[in-house]
A and B are shown apart, each in its own frame.
Chain A
């Protein structure tokens, strides 16, 4: 078994499909998925706000379902498919360089201020709208009620969820 050159920790090989591409890395067993994505793969768009599963900033899609990457070990992601905020545009079928509908809706509705919580909302909302394409504002509010945002007071995020549903409909995704 290989060991980490600086820390001497035993390393395990992890292979995951991230944003459509196979990524393989050697990580200690205790490496959090959030750290793996951010620091081993350099996908720093996934943010860490609490590291205890409450804020939702670290939410990524694992096989299409929202998961808190701070509550998963990288080794438990072995063989799974992960979408991070960096992969949302491509996942939505947007042309290279364009934004996905949920991303665009957050811009249109001023659904972000500092942007730190935003990747977690974007992934959560993406998955939500796939199964609930036409939410009412109350349902939209309910859908985002597991993610913390300290900046926006949520109002424009609720608007953004409804706007995203419209954009998805318009784009025929």
Chain B
């Protein structure tokens, strides 16, 4: 019996290549291509008065210089609004090169193509652009005040306004025995993959074909959008996502201006052209996320049960809205987490500012929502003097209430309905892991040593595996090699391993025979992309279904060849054999030969497959009416709705009584993403997510000054955590299978980062005894809060007052 690979923590098939320096990332391709560089706006908001490129024309090695006026066809139009929404009443999208106005520092204005990047940047330095500066709009408060507008077309700087309500939440809050209000802020961070964006375009003038390599999370999206922009038939454009050095959401946005301009220039110049984003460009002209001002009003009973929840928040969407309002929509729904308030109302305003655009970053609005909900849970517990875990329990949706329909619409426009989950089970595991019930002793022991410690908790539910679909193609070659293709892309999630595990099991072949290709429109033209923790769910099931189709065909062919009943056959190690009499067997490779009758013999396998080989039944065609040649199959998986994973985290932090330095002593994770394809990979995803979450909670923020300059646009000043800042992560899993797909899996990609800000805020608040309402938090900010608390400007937590009085 072949050992089952699904569920096994096997090492990754991609790794030998990647640890040897044989990965092929975007900038490793296209040796000899011309290099592009951009002149970008130095101002947050300005009118372009004049562009003088004359100084750059005689720089040796410069091939072309383009401004908006040089662009033609649809490339001269605005970039597409990718995800329209009825509530997005004032959508604004940038041009590939700004024609008249710039709306954030970093917006591209001039494109230079040269022999290499050094020279291209020399030329950029000699181009003079005159600007008339206009008033910047920086931060949510300035956007709300609307003293100045980012776009004339968006009155009040409002891009979108949306209200969703289940029950009469305001009445429920008003009628509740207890009420609280919370004002919460969370600042900007960014995906910040170690590899920036990049695009290489190769125009084949003979074939009139465009090949694009892009460091993207959606090869099909880039292909279709660039074809549309360049006016090329889809059949004449192909896009390949090579090895990608991380994405975390930044690369699902598309087409970036550069993804349109580089192919456009390649065709125009009939030369290969490449652009590789440098780190500063990534900071000022890619994408950020997280910044929201949130106001919560909650009414609850004596047990802490939430009777009414009324949330209003203001989302900073930056200068443009090409990716629609996915982020605030996710906040507004996923805020509810594992809880079931009696009535819920949520209203948000998505606001323009003259800063870098906002599109999903790992977690995609969930960290903000979880932060709002979990701060609220802690506040309720404190108000009632109850245990924080008990208040959460009182509000949990119970396993027997699944599936649970919240009565809202989710990001895919479909009902927001949880499929499964065991929240009390998760909480019990978390309490055991972190030692919740022994906390008082732990704290007392620490306090006896003069140390200040706090315990924090955060729970979340994550909609994963969002549709509409992905496809799988599985093909067995005559050698027995199994080629698997799915269209979504890979940025480190180990798809070449996880999908091979699935196919090896379904088909009954050794994993070493299975080769997986992702993100190549030549291999799979129908695909959506890698985001929303959807790859394992949607592509995983698609390749499973495709493998099942191949298996069925193999059994059909084998039954015919061996003259036995299909039901008596099994496939073991790539060989179809009769159960109980393994000598009656035929390898899949041979079946591949049989499936493809040939006229020409070009090798041994083909010789066996010529139409003149062996006996034939001349009453039948060589390929049966309802068959196709080849041992291959294709299928698609299209889920009816998202599947909902969940998790609960707890942290113990220590805050230095003097310096206010914050140290995470322990970090515990309970994670439930249904059946695990490869536990090692899932665990790695959780670790990575927590690492990013810690960055977002304690270190990372985009520091804009009032003029709209990003002051910390480098790794020197934007503090991504090193190993010294990320705690050891302790994990435990629950496996509540999803009933919504054949493999019973849920997504895991984003989970780790979602509750971290909430958990750390909860722990610091517990350590300090006053409310934490603004994140991330630095030692300086904590020190300032202590000062204000001591001055009586900040209230104490009730339980802290009770405990210390």
Q: Which of A1-32 contact B (CB under 8 A)?
A: 4, 6-9, 28, 30-31
Q: How many Å lie between the Cα of A45 and that of B21 in the bound state?
A: 4
Q: How many Å from the CB of A17 to the closest CB on chain B?
A: 17
The answer on a CB contact under 8 Å between B279 and A50 is yes
Q: Does B88 contact A (CB under 8 A)?
A: no
The answer on a CB contact under 8 Å between A52 and B716 is yes
The answer on a CB contact under 8 Å between A116 and B20 is no
Name B18's contact: one of A112, A146, A153 (CB within 8 Å).
A112
Q: Which of B113-144 contact A (CB under 8 A)?
A: 114-116, 118-119
Measured between beta carbons, the chain A residues less than 8 angstroms from B279 are: 49-52
The answer on a CB contact under 8 Å between B20 and A89 is yes
Q: How many Å from the CB of B451 to the closest CB on chain A?
A: 19
Q: How many Å from the CB of B315 to the closest CB on chain A?
A: 24
Q: Which of A73-81, A155-163, A165-173 contacts B (4 or more CB under 8 A)?
A: A155-163
Q: Which of A97-121 contact B (CB under 8 A)?
A: 99, 103-104, 106-108, 110, 112-119
Query: If the complex has contacts A28-B118, A155-B729, are A116 and B21 also in contact, measured as CB distance less than 8 A?
Result: no
The answer on a CB contact under 8 Å between B724 and A50 is no
Query: If the complex has contacts A30-B118, A51-B278, A115-B492, are A86 and B684 also in contact, measured as CB distance less than 8 A?
Result: no
Measured between beta carbons, the chain B residues less than 8 angstroms from A89 are: 20
Measured between beta carbons, the chain A residues less than 8 angstroms from B61 are: 4, 6-8
Interface string of A39-51 (1 = CB under 8 A from B): 1001111111111
The answer on a CB contact under 8 Å between A150 and B248 is yes
The answer on a CB contact under 8 Å between B680 and A55 is no
The answer on a CB contact under 8 Å between B27 and A38 is yes
Q: How many Å from the CB of A131 to the closest CB on chain B?
A: 19
Measured between beta carbons, the chain B residues less than 8 angstroms from A54 are: 714-716
Measured between beta carbons, the chain B residues less than 8 angstroms from A86 are: 20-21
Q: How many Å lie between the Cα of A40 and that of B27 in the bound state?
A: 13
Q: How many Å lie between the Cα of A119 and that of B21 in the bound state?
A: 7
Q: Which of B6-27 contact A (CB under 8 A)?
A: 11-12, 14-16, 18-25, 27
Measured between beta carbons, the chain B residues less than 8 angstroms from A148 are: 194, 715, 720, 722
Find the residue from B31, B243, B723 having the highest chain A CB count within 10 A: B723
Measured between beta carbons, the chain B residues less than 8 angstroms from A49 are: 194-195, 245, 279, 715
Query: If the complex has contacts A45-B23, A48-B27, A52-B715, are A157 and B723 also in contact, measured as CB distance less than 8 A?
Result: yes
Q: Does B246 contact A (CB under 8 A)?
A: yes
Q: How many Å from the CB of B795 to the closest CB on chain A?
A: 35
Q: Which of B339-347, B404-412, B689-697, B702-710 contacts A (4 or more CB under 8 A)?
A: B689-697
Q: How many Å from the CB of B314 to the closest CB on chain A?
A: 29
The answer on a CB contact under 8 Å between B119 and A7 is yes
Measured between beta carbons, the chain A residues less than 8 angstroms from B752 are: 153
The answer on a CB contact under 8 Å between B492 and A113 is yes
Find the residue from B24, B28, B494 having the highest chain A CB count within 10 A: B28
Q: How many Å from the CB of B747 to the closest CB on chain A?
A: 16
Q: How many Å lie between the Cα of A145 and that of B729 in the bound state?
A: 17
Find the residue from B15, B714, B724 having the highest chain A CB count within 10 A: B15
Can you name the residue of chain B whose Cβ is closest to the Cβ of A152? B688
Measured between beta carbons, the chain B residues less than 8 angstroms from A6 are: 60-61, 115-116, 119
Measured between beta carbons, the chain B residues less than 8 angstroms from A141 are: 723-724
Q: Does B493 contact A (CB under 8 A)?
A: yes
The answer on a CB contact under 8 Å between B681 and A110 is yes
Q: Does A144 contact B (CB under 8 A)?
A: yes
The answer on a CB contact under 8 Å between A145 and B21 is no
The answer on a CB contact under 8 Å between A151 and B492 is yes
Measured between beta carbons, the chain A residues less than 8 angstroms from B724 are: 141-142, 145
Measured between beta carbons, the chain A residues less than 8 angstroms from B27 are: 38, 44, 48
* Contact-size category for A: 35 or more
Q: Does B728 contact A (CB under 8 A)?
A: yes
Q: How many Å from the CB of A28 to the closest CB on chain B?
A: 7
Interface string of B720-764 (1 = CB under 8 A from A): 101110101100000000000000000000001000000000000
Measured between beta carbons, the chain B residues less than 8 angstroms from A108 are: 11
Query: If the complex has contacts A49-B195, A142-B724, A158-B723, are A85 and B687 also in contact, measured as CB distance less than 8 A?
Result: no
The answer on a CB contact under 8 Å between B722 and A150 is no
Can you name the residue of chain B whose Cβ is closest to the Cβ of A144? B723
Query: If the complex has contacts A30-B118, A47-B25, A115-B245, are A150 and B192 also in contact, measured as CB distance less than 8 A?
Result: yes
The answer on a CB contact under 8 Å between B723 and A154 is yes
Q: Does B244 contact A (CB under 8 A)?
A: yes
Query: If the complex has contacts A117-B194, A151-B492, A152-B688, are A112 and B720 also in contact, measured as CB distance less than 8 A?
Result: no
Can you name the residue of chain A whose Cβ is closest to the Cβ of B723? A154
Find the residue from A106, A119, A148, A154 having the highest chain B CB count within 10 A: A154
The answer on a CB contact under 8 Å between B16 and A99 is yes
Measured between beta carbons, the chain A residues less than 8 angstroms from B494 are: 113
Can you name the residue of chain A whose Cβ is closest to the Cβ of B118? A30
Measured between beta carbons, the chain B residues less than 8 angstroms from A7 are: 60-61, 114-116, 118-119
The answer on a CB contact under 8 Å between B19 and A103 is yes
Q: Does B333 contact A (CB under 8 A)?
A: no
Q: Does A147 contact B (CB under 8 A)?
A: yes
The answer on a CB contact under 8 Å between B691 and A153 is yes
Measured between beta carbons, the chain A residues less than 8 angstroms from B683 are: 110
Q: Which of B448-506 contact A (CB under 8 A)?
A: 491-494
The answer on a CB contact under 8 Å between B726 and A116 is no
Q: Does A82 contact B (CB under 8 A)?
A: no
Q: Does B193 contact A (CB under 8 A)?
A: yes
Q: Does A57 contact B (CB under 8 A)?
A: yes
Q: How many Å lie between the Cα of A9 and that of B60 in the bound state?
A: 9
Measured between beta carbons, the chain A residues less than 8 angstroms from B15 are: 106-107, 112, 115
Q: How many Å from the CB of A90 to the closest CB on chain B?
A: 11
Can you name the residue of chain A whose Cβ is closest to the Cβ of B32? A39
Q: Does A33 contact B (CB under 8 A)?
A: no
Interface string of B288-316 (1 = CB under 8 A from A): 00000000000000000000000000000
Measured between beta carbons, the chain B residues less than 8 angstroms from A155 are: 687, 726, 728-729
The answer on a CB contact under 8 Å between B720 and A44 is no
Q: How many Å lie between the Cα of A119 and that of B18 in the bound state?
A: 8
The answer on a CB contact under 8 Å between B726 and A45 is no
Measured between beta carbons, the chain A residues less than 8 angstroms from B16 are: 99, 107
Q: How many Å lie between the Cα of A104 and that of B723 in the bound state?
A: 21
The answer on a CB contact under 8 Å between B716 and A110 is no
Q: Does A69 contact B (CB under 8 A)?
A: no
Q: How many Å lie between the Cα of A144 and that of B722 in the bound state?
A: 8
Name A115's contact: one of B18, B60, B689, B726 (CB within 8 Å).
B18
Can you name the residue of chain B whose Cβ is closest to the Cβ of A28? B118
The answer on a CB contact under 8 Å between A85 and B31 is no
Query: If the complex has contacts A49-B194, A50-B279, A118-B19, are A39 and B31 also in contact, measured as CB distance less than 8 A?
Result: yes
Can you name the residue of chain A whose Cβ is closest to the Cβ of B28? A44
Q: Does A67 contact B (CB under 8 A)?
A: no
Find the residue from A50, A112, A119, A151 having the highest chain B CB count within 10 A: A151
> What are the nearest 3 A-B pairs in CB distance?
A45-B21, A116-B245, A153-B691
19 A–B contacts from the bound complex (CB under 8 Å):
A4-B61, A8-B61, A9-B119, A44-B28, A45-B20, A48-B27, A54-B714, A85-B19, A106-B15, A112-B15, A114-B194, A115-B15, A117-B245, A122-B19, A145-B722, A148-B720, A151-B688, A152-B688, A156-B687
Given contact pairs A50-B279, A156-B684, enumerate 15 new A-B contacts (beta carbons under 8 Å).
A6-B115, A47-B25, A47-B195, A48-B27, A49-B245, A104-B19, A112-B15, A112-B492, A113-B492, A116-B23, A144-B722, A151-B688, A152-B684, A154-B687, A156-B687
Task: Please report A residues at the B interface, Cβ cutoff 8 Å.
Answer: 4, 6-9, 28, 30-31, 38-39, 42-52, 54-55, 57, 84-86, 89, 99, 103-104, 106-108, 110, 112-119, 122, 141-142, 144-158
Task: Please report B residues at the A interface, Cβ cutoff 8 Å.
Answer: 11-12, 14-16, 18-25, 27-28, 31, 60-61, 114-116, 118-119, 192-195, 243-246, 248, 278-279, 491-494, 680-681, 683-685, 687-692, 714-716, 720, 722-724, 726, 728-729, 752
